[in-house]
Amino acid sequence: MHHNGVEDEEKWLAAGITGLQQNAFYMHRALDSSNLKDALKYSAQMLSELRTSRLSPQKYYELYMRAFDELRKLEIFFKEETKRGCSIVELYELVQHAGNILPRLYLLCTVGSVYIKSKEAPAKDILKDLVEMCRGIQHPLRGLFLRSYLSQVSRDKLPDLGSEYEGDAETVSDAVEFVLQNFTEMNKLWVRMQHQGPAREKEKREKERSELRDLVGKNLHVLSQIEGVDLDMYRETVLTRVLEQVVNCKDEIAQCYLMDCIIQVFPDEYHLQTLETLLGAFPQLQPSVDIKTVLSRLMDRLSNYAASSAEVLPEFFQVEAFAKLSNAIGKVIEAQDDMPVIGVVTLYSSLLTFTLQVHPDRLDFVDQILGACVTKLSGKGKLEDSKSRKQVVALLSAPLQKYNDIDIALKLSNYPHVMEYLDNGTKKEMASVIIQSIMKNKTLISNSEKVEALFELIKGLIKDLEGNLQSELDEEDFHEEQNSVARLIQMLHNDDPEEMLKIICTVKKHILAGGPKRLPFTVPPLIFNALKLIRRLQNRDENVAEEDTAATPKKIFQILNQIIEALSSVPVPEVAMRLYLQCAEAADDSDLEPVAYEFFTQAYLLYEEEISDSKAQVTAIHLIIGTLQRMHVFGVENRDTLTHKATGYSAKLLKKPDQCRAVYACSHLFWVDDQDSIKDGERVLLCLKRALRIANAAQQMANATRGSGGSVALFIEILNKYLYFFEKGVTQITVASVQSLIELITNEMQGENATPDPTADAFFASTLRFIQFQKDKGGAVGEKYEAIKV
Amino acid sequence: MVLVLALGDLHIPHRAPDLPAKFKSMLVPGKIQHIICTGNLCIKEVHDYLKTICPDLHITRGEYDEETRYPETKTLTIGQFKLGICHGHQVIPWGDLDSLAMLQRQLDVDILVTGHTHQFTAYKHEAGVVINPGSATGAYSSITYDVNPSFVLMDIDGLRVVVYVYELIDGEVKVDKIDFKKTTASANSAH
């Protein structure tokens, strides 16, 4: 059926165009021969094509445009006729003899245009006559186009301020009156279309109405272009009359379109000054009108206006724009009980953008908006659809972006309440947005209350929320998420140690509830924050510390112990061990021997009981030895115990080369340059000899298992250690021992079973070069090395 | 002229949130030919970021690095120079120049780049140069108090290397430079 309909329309349009063109042809002939009578006859016939009821708006428009072009030529002809002596008044009379009313009125408008130009009568009288005559056409489609024609031809002939048609008797008011009348009549016709035809074709009719809406809206545009329409006239006449029509027509489509039109077409200053009137119309509109979209657009326009220049801001304050908008929104939401959540949030979003632009200093306004949002959201449960969630995220992100300072967002009491309505996934998304904002602005969060508020906001990242299955999240994403929390922890700082300690305790409370998966990420940054605090306390003058301050190194170490202990629940022994060793060093700096010893004990226990991977053990033992080597707080007994254990661990590593290296590293435990009490040459030598034995054993094992000598690298390393201590002046390291080692290596390298090893060769060569270099230095050093033969 | 960026011990996110902004704006992609990193980044994001500055990235393992497969030591040749990289927690006593010299002899390199102490040093001895670029983020260290963020840029040109050290002190970037020359161009040794 539809297919037929379209085909038929095409046919009718074609027929209409043909008819029109034919008559136009004859009309032109008449024009050329100045035959007025024929011109009128054929033009009327031509215009008859526009009497059709068969065309849809799109097609009718095509026909109309052709007629329009032809009428321009006719108008020129009329003008020339009047120059030739034909009376315009008579012409005006003559065209009304046309048979059918539609052609008659088109011709009348055309002549009317010439009449006004001639100035033989006041423009306002002619315009009034025309706009009223057009009432003769009550068919919506035909009437709309006719009046549109009237609007087009009269456009440049209105008695506007400063126009040639202005006079004493006729003014801008008359121009406005004319346009308003045309507008009103056009709207009535437009609305009437809604009720024409059977109910089942409603959708088709609404589509056609939509195609015609700009014809009606054009009138508002014309009004906005009239120079003489100043704020007072707009306020008193234009807006009042337009709104009257909009409200009274009680048509959803017209109301929605026209309200939007008003907002887009007239200047923003006018809207500000008539805000109350404009907003007052909204509750009077049909309930089915999408008010929220229109309202949002109004607020967006006003926001942009406010952003355009600082000079306009006082206007906003003067008209109390915020209060009015806020009330209007409240009323709308109240009236539309079943407004979907997305609508509510969009409205408040627009209001928030507006407020941030116009009243950035009024946090109470911002908080008010968030509060209103919460009130409306309550009772709806968590937001289900993704559009609503996105809108809420946009709502919450706006203050962050505006203020670039998380402190401000933390001051908004309703901020966390809004977040409550997000589902867990979106809560985490929002938390990430917040953290990113902090990182981007490099803001430091400086007291424990703020930290508490902040961690409440981001709790979706800190711990498992109800119903949240951890397995949902991709591992890489989870790492990224937790790493961002770790970075955040670095942004918490206060120079005052008491406050800093409070911050640390607050963070501790939150992260310890985070569960085993999160602890490895969140614990280390907190530990290092605390260590930094301890260092700051050490730097301070001793006398400053008061009796009952909470922030003493000792107390902080206790807290540190508790936090690291939590890692055992994961478990991550390697990380925990490293942290214990860091704390031990810090305790060493604070001269707290028992505390340092306790940390070492914990580290050793982890090594013994939890770290079983060979590679991990090698690194761990080097960390233990390296740390222990630097400790100066231990008394002899404690140091001996720890050293003994360390050497024991070294000798028990799985692979012989690892054993060897760890053991000779232990030699440094017995000789510390800046501590005279730790200079035990005997034990140094013992270590080195033990390392040698292990190297030998390794060599033999290689011979046995692979049939050839293993690498001599270990021997060369040990030789270098001999040289190290030799240079330090350890008497037990004699020239002879160095010499024999050199010979041993030389023999090994030249032996039958030797495997060629360029790396070892290079190492040995550079070692020998070093010895030579030392000899060449002369002086005390040169003397020492003199005896060594290379 | 070959530009080599040497940096390390960033300790992101355990001890520092990010590189200082002033450093970040200096490290523009495409200007540097090689990056040498002593380790302790610690996370993949930092690795990826360094790769955007220069794809030729050489890293050794620090004890806090998330990626456990970085090598303990690495050597590479750039122009006439042999460079060696090692984080340094393996060399005891930590920061001891004589022990580091031993590592240098062992790796047989002209320039040894090492970290762990978070303290910038550039030391010349008979076998070559030992450079510690410090901590690029000024991260906390148990070894060094008052760490300023620092990194090193080496300009290798023939037998000469100019070492520029960039330090962030009280919010300002201060630059210093040190010159080193190799005496012979032989592939095996440097005197």
Q: What is the pLDDT of residues A232-254, one digit of tens each?
A: 999 999 999 999 999 999 999 99
Note whether B108 contacts A759, CB cutoff 8 Å.
yes
Task: Find the distance separating the first CA and the last CA of chain A, reported in whole Å.
Answer: 110
Q: Where does chain B have alpha helices with state H? A: 21-26, 44-53, 97-107
The structure tokens 């009821």 sit at A53
Pick from A528, A627, A630: CB nearest B15:
A528
The gap from C-alpha B173 to its chain's centroid, in whole angstroms, comes to: 18
Distance in angstroms (rounded) separating the CA atoms of residues A404 and A491: 15
For residue A376, give how far its alpha carbon lies from the nearest alpha carbon of chain B (Å). Answer: 39
For residue B16, give how far its alpha carbon lies from the nearest alpha carbon of chain A (Å). Answer: 6
Pick from B63, B98, B127: CB nearest A766:
B127
A535 touches A586 (CB < 8 A): yes
Distance in angstroms (rounded) separating the CA atoms of residues B61 and A396: 42
Task: Specify the pairing of strand B160-169 against strand B172-181.
Answer: antiparallel
Per-residue pLDDT at A752: 67
Pick from A442, A491, A531: CB nearest B140:
A531
Residues in A touching B17 (Cβ below 8 Å):
439, 487-488, 490-491
Residue A171: CB atoms within 10 A of its CB come to 16
Give buried/exposed letters for B126-159 (b at 16+ CB in 10 A, else e): ebbbbbbbbbbbbbbbbebeebbbbbbbbebeeb
B168 touches B138 (CB < 8 A): yes
Residues in A touching B101 (Cβ below 8 Å):
770
Nearest CA in chain B to A622: B90
The structure tokens 């030249």 sit at A750
Provide the token pair at A228.
């003489």
Question: Which residue(s) pair with B74 in the sheet?
Answer: B85
Distance in angstroms (rounded) separating the CA atoms of residues A237 and A226: 13
- Across the range A642-658, mean pLDDT stands at 95
Look at residue B185 and tell me if it is in a domain. Answer: no
Look at residue B187 and tell me if it is in a domain. Answer: no
For residue B143, give how far its alpha carbon lies from the nearest alpha carbon of chain A (Å). Answer: 8
Task: Specify the pairing of strand B160-169 against strand B128-132.
Answer: unpaired
Distance in angstroms (rounded) separating the CA atoms of residues A663 and A432: 48
Number of separate domains in chain B: 1
Look at residue B186 and tell me if it is in a domain. Answer: no
Number of inter-chain CB pairs under 8 A, A vs B: 103
- Across the range A73-86, mean pLDDT stands at 89
Distance in angstroms (rounded) separating the CA atoms of residues A70 and A53: 21
Per-residue pLDDT at B92: 95
Question: Which of B24, B92, B114, B117 to mutate: most A Cβ within 10 Å?
Answer: B92
Nearest CA in chain B to A768: B105
What are the C-alpha distances in Å from A774 to residues A739, A782, A786? Answer: 15, 6, 9
Query: Does A478 touch chain B if contact means CB atoms closer than 8 Å?
Result: no
Query: Does A160 touch chain B if contact means CB atoms closer than 8 Å?
Result: no
Distance in angstroms (rounded) separating the CA atoms of residues B7 and B151: 5
Q: Is the pLDDT of residue A503 over 90?
A: yes
Provide the token pair at B49.
């970021």
Note whether A487 contacts B102, CB cutoff 8 Å.
no
Per-residue pLDDT at A778: 84
- Answer with the residue of higher pLDDT: A146 or A316: A146
A110 touches A72 (CB < 8 A): no
Question: Which of A572, A580, A766, A773 to mutate: most B Cβ within 10 Å?
Answer: A766
Residue A745: CB atoms within 10 A of its CB come to 21
Nearest CA in chain B to A630: B93
Note whether A629 contacts B101, CB cutoff 8 Å.
no
Look at residue B184 and tell me if it is in a domain. Answer: no
Distance in angstroms (rounded) separating the CA atoms of residues A45 and A252: 38
Query: Does B18 touch chain A if contact means CB atoms closer than 8 Å?
Result: yes
CB-based contacts of A536, cutoff 8 Å, min separation 6 = A497, A500
| pLDDT less than 70: residues of chain B | 184-191
- Answer with the residue of higher pLDDT: A789 or A753: A789
For residue A715, give how far its alpha carbon lies from the nearest alpha carbon of chain B (Å). Answer: 12
Per-residue pLDDT at A544: 54
Per-residue pLDDT at A780: 86
For residue A738, give how far its alpha carbon lies from the nearest alpha carbon of chain B (Å). Answer: 16
Distance in angstroms (rounded) separating the CA atoms of residues A500 and A446: 8
Q: Is the pLDDT of residue A553 over 60?
A: yes
Provide the token pair at A181.
């009348």
Residue A470's pLDDT band (boundaries 50, 70, 90)? low
| 3-state secondary structure at position B17 | coil
Note whether B140 contacts A626, CB cutoff 8 Å.
no
| Spatial CA neighbour of A210 closest among A242, A257, A243, A144 | A257
A277 touches A283 (CB < 8 A): no
- Across the range A44-65, mean pLDDT stands at 92
Look at residue B188 and tell me if it is in a domain. Answer: no
Edge to edge, the sheet with strand B172-181 lists: B57-59, B34-37, B2-7, B150-157, B160-169, B172-181
Tell me which of A663-672, A741-750, A752-761, B151-160 is least confident: A752-761
Which domain covers residue B76, as residue numbers? 1-179
Distance in angstroms (rounded) separating the CA atoms of residues A157 and A170: 12
Nearest CA in chain B to A480: B45
B 121-160 → A contacts, CB under 8 A = 126-127, 140, 142-143, 145
Residues in A touching B15 (Cβ below 8 Å):
490, 525, 528
What are the C-alpha distances in Å from A297 to residues A68, A225, A301, A310, A477? Answer: 36, 22, 6, 21, 37
Question: Which of A490, A572, A577, A730 to mutate: most B Cβ within 10 Å?
Answer: A490
> Over A26-44, what HEC string results?
HHHHHHHCCCHHHHHHHHH
Query: Does B43 touch chain A if contact means CB atoms closer than 8 Å?
Result: yes
**Using CB atoms within 10 A of its CB, is residue A571 exposed (0-12), middle (13-18) or buried (19+)?**
middle
A400 touches A433 (CB < 8 A): yes
Note whether A629 contacts B106, CB cutoff 8 Å.
no
Residue-wise pLDDT tens digits, A8-33:
889 999 999 999 999 999 999 999 99
Note whether A724 contacts B15, CB cutoff 8 Å.
no
Note whether B92 contacts A665, CB cutoff 8 Å.
yes
The structure tokens 């130009």 sit at A117
Per-residue pLDDT at A185: 95
The structure tokens 């001051």 sit at A411
Pick from B63, B99, B189: CB nearest A724:
B99
Per-residue pLDDT at A693: 95
- Answer with the residue of higher pLDDT: A708 or A304: A304
Q: Is the pLDDT of residue A677 over 90?
A: no
Residue-wise pLDDT tens digits, A687-711:
999 999 999 999 888 888 877 667 7
Query: Does A630 touch chain B if contact means CB atoms closer than 8 Å?
Result: yes
Note whether A442 contacts B13, CB cutoff 8 Å.
no
Note whether B63 contacts A531, CB cutoff 8 Å.
no
Nearest CA in chain A to B127: A770
Edge to edge, the sheet with strand B111-114 lists: B73-78, B81-86, B111-114, B128-132, B121-125
Provide the token pair at A5.
């309909």
The gap from C-alpha A764 to its chain's centroid, in whole angstroms, comes to: 60
A 579-618 → B contacts, CB under 8 A = 582, 585-586, 589, 615
Note whether B94 contacts A630, CB cutoff 8 Å.
yes
The structure tokens 């929320």 sit at A465
Identity of the residue numbered A689: K
Residue-wise pLDDT tens digits, A332-355:
888 777 778 888 888 899 999 999
Give buried/exposed letters for B62-100 (b at 16+ CB in 10 A, else e): bbbbeeeebeebbbeebbbbbbbbbbbbbbbbbbbeebb
Q: Is the pLDDT of residue A501 over 70?
A: yes
The percentage of chain B sitting over the pLDDT mark of 90, rounded to a whole number, equals 90
Residue A228's pLDDT band (boundaries 50, 70, 90)? confident
Look at residue B53 and tell me if it is in a domain. Answer: yes
Residues in B touching A720 (Cβ below 8 Å):
102, 105-106
CB-based contacts of A108, cutoff 8 Å, min separation 6 = A92, A95, A96, A130, A133
Question: What number of residues does chain B have?
Answer: 191
Distance in angstroms (rounded) separating the CA atoms of residues A514 and A518: 6
Q: Is the peptide bond before B42 cis (omega within 30 degrees of 0)?
A: yes
Residues in A touching B105 (Cβ below 8 Å):
720, 763, 766-767, 770
For residue A505, give how far its alpha carbon lies from the nearest alpha carbon of chain B (Å). Answer: 17
Provide the token pair at A651.
């000798």
Tell me which of A522-531, A618-627, A634-643, A780-789 is least confident: A780-789
Note whether B43 contacts A483, CB cutoff 8 Å.
yes
The structure tokens 């206790």 sit at A558
Nearest CA in chain A to B21: A442
Look at residue B78 and tell me if it is in a domain. Answer: yes
What are the C-alpha distances in Å from B17 to residues A146, A234, B36, B166? Answer: 71, 58, 21, 20
Give CA angle at A108 (A106, A111), nearest 5°.
110
Per-residue pLDDT at A702: 83
Please state the pTM of the whole predicted model.
Answer: 0.82
DSSP of A378-411: TTS-S--SHHHHHHHHHHHHHHHHHH--HHHHHH
Residue A273: CB atoms within 10 A of its CB come to 18
Note whether B140 contacts A528, CB cutoff 8 Å.
yes
Nearest CA in chain B to A620: B63
| 3-state secondary structure at position B70 | coil
Per-residue pLDDT at A211: 92
DSSP of A479-523: HHHHHHHHHHHTTB--SSHHHHHHHHHHHHHHHTTS-TTTHHHHH
Residue-wise pLDDT tens digits, A105-145:
999 999 999 999 888 888 889 999 999 999 999 999 999 99
Per-residue pLDDT at A442: 87
Query: Does A767 touch chain B if contact means CB atoms closer than 8 Å?
Result: yes
Nearest CA in chain A to B187: A762
Distance in angstroms (rounded) separating the CA atoms of residues B133 and A85: 101
Note whether A770 contacts B127, CB cutoff 8 Å.
yes
Pick from A483, A720, A759: CB nearest B102:
A720
Q: Is the pLDDT of residue A2 over 60?
A: no
**Using CB atoms within 10 A of its CB, is residue A466 exposed (0-12), middle (13-18) or buried (19+)?**
exposed
Average per-residue pLDDT for chain A: 90
ipTM rounded to 2 decimals: 0.94
- Answer with the residue of higher pLDDT: A49 or A384: A49
Residue-wise pLDDT tens digits, A182-197:
999 999 999 999 988 8
CB-based contacts of A40, cutoff 8 Å, min separation 6 = A94, A95, A98, A107
Look at residue B189 and tell me if it is in a domain. Answer: no
Distance in angstroms (rounded) separating the CA atoms of residues A537 and A559: 16
A345 touches A373 (CB < 8 A): yes
Residue-wise pLDDT tens digits, A162-181:
778 877 777 888 899 999 99
CB-based contacts of A564, cutoff 8 Å, min separation 6 = A523, A527, A576, A579, A580, A583, A602
Note whether B145 contacts A442, CB cutoff 8 Å.
no
Distance in angstroms (rounded) separating the CA atoms of residues A16 and B134: 88
The structure tokens 């009327």 sit at A44
CATH of the domain at B64: 3.60.21.10
Per-residue pLDDT at A700: 87
